[in-house]
Chains A and B, each alone.
Chain A
Amino acid sequence: ETGVTQTPRHLFMGMTNKKSLKCEQHLGHNAMYWYKQSAKKPLELMFVYNFKEQTENNSVPSRFSPECPNSSHLFLHLHTLQPEDSALYLCASSQEGGTGAEKLFFGSGTQLSVL
């Protein structure tokens, strides 16, 4: 148990569907992240939120839309996805203090399959 909970664990969706991934952290952290993990590839940072404000968007297609209503919750809204978007989507949180030593706490991820 890492203190970061993601739902659902598995998601199958068609290319025309709309779905949302949910993440909740119980650690009191001030930063939350979405990462994409594809087989045999490095973790790709998608979005970063600090104190609920989006501070980073790594050229992610607009079919992925993040939402951070408060510092404990993070959503990733999905619509009109492509088969190449099939991957494990990981949420993470950290307590950012500017030292560089801050470690990430990850959720177990949502395994997304786009059919």
Chain B
Amino acid sequence: GQNIDQPTEMTATEGAIVQINCTYQTSGFNGLFWYQQHAGEAPTFLSYNVLDGLEEKGRFSSFLSRSKGYSYLLLKELQMKDSASYLCAVRDRDYKLSFGAGTTVTVRA
């Protein structure tokens, strides 16, 4: 099966930067997604990477290294509303999507 690992929890201070790592071992690769899920709410799409490099979108950036099976989501200028669970998901060569267990980020004042 597919294996996607990310840390369970992270805590950071308002205004700081947090980097959430995701490593994967899949049968082929057809893209990596990051989703944000606030408690009791729907997961929402944050970013998509299919080529190596950094994709920047406002305060959030996502990086991919296909050779290392590695991605990270970078959250800058943290705000209290960024407290949520962040899900890493990878498409394999058959376009099947597998999710990691999610990283719960807590932002403290």
Tell me which residues from 1 to 55 in chain A have a Cβ below 8 Å from any Cβ of chain B: 2, 4, 40-43, 45
- Please give, as numbers and ranges, the residues of chain A lying within 8 Å of B35 by CB-CB distance: 104, 106
* A4, A42, A103: the one within 8 Å of B45 (CB): A103
Interface pair B99/A100, CB less than 8 Å apart: no
A59 to chain B, nearest CB (A): 12
A108 within 8 A of B: yes
A: number of interface residues (CB 8 Å): 18
Q: Which residue of A lies closest to B101 (CB)?
A: A42
B8→A40 contact, CB < 8 A: yes
CB distance from A104 to the nearest CB of B (A): 7
Give the distance in Å from the alpha carbon of A109 to the alpha carbon of B42 in the complex. Answer: 7
- What size tier do the contact residues of chain B reach? 20 to 34
Main secondary structure of the interface of A (DSSP, over half): loop
Q: B18-50: contact bitstring with A at CB < 8 Å (1 yes, 0 no)?
A: 000000000000110101000011111100101
Specify which chain A residues have a CB less than 8 angstroms from the CB of B50 in the assembled complex: 100-101
Determine if A42 and B99 form an interchain contact, defined as CB atoms under 8 angstroms apart: yes
Partner of A41, one of B41, B45, B101: B101
Closest residue of B by beta carbon distance from A58? B96
Map CB proximity to B onto A82-115 as digits: 1 under 8 Å, 0 otherwise: 0000000010000000101101111111000000
List chain B residues, Cβ under 8 A from A100: 30-31, 50, 91, 95
Q: Is the CB of B48 within 8 A of A108?
A: no
15 contacts between A and B (CB under 8 A): A2-B42, A41-B101, A42-B99, A45-B97, A90-B43, A98-B95, A100-B30, A100-B31, A100-B50, A101-B48, A103-B33, A106-B43, A106-B44, A107-B42, A108-B41
- A-to-B contact residues, CB < 8 Å: 2, 4, 40-43, 45, 90, 98, 100-101, 103-109
